[in-house]
Amino acid sequence: MLIVHGRKHYSPGLAELTFDGKTTGFKNLLTTFDSGASYTYLNSQAYQGLISLVSGRKSSKTRQNKC
């Protein structure tokens, strides 16, 4: 693990955001942990992309259940 200088956080390095086992196209995201890491923070582009994927999957499941 890498210590982020000037902060009490640890970083395993850069990460790629995946959803449902598939790549989202969001790569090289800096990953950090602290002693109480229970939240996930994403930059605005990655967040909006993830919301779109989750919303698309949710509406797809709704359509499948109606058939």
Beta strands 10-15 and 2-3 are antiparallel
67 beta partners: none
Which pLDDT tens digit goes with each residue over 42-53?
889 999 989 998
What average pLDDT does the segment 5-32 reach?
82
3: pLDDT strictly greater than 60: no
Report how far residue 48's alpha carbon sits from residue 51's, in angstroms, rounded to the nearest whole number: 5
Strand pairing partners for 26? Answer: none
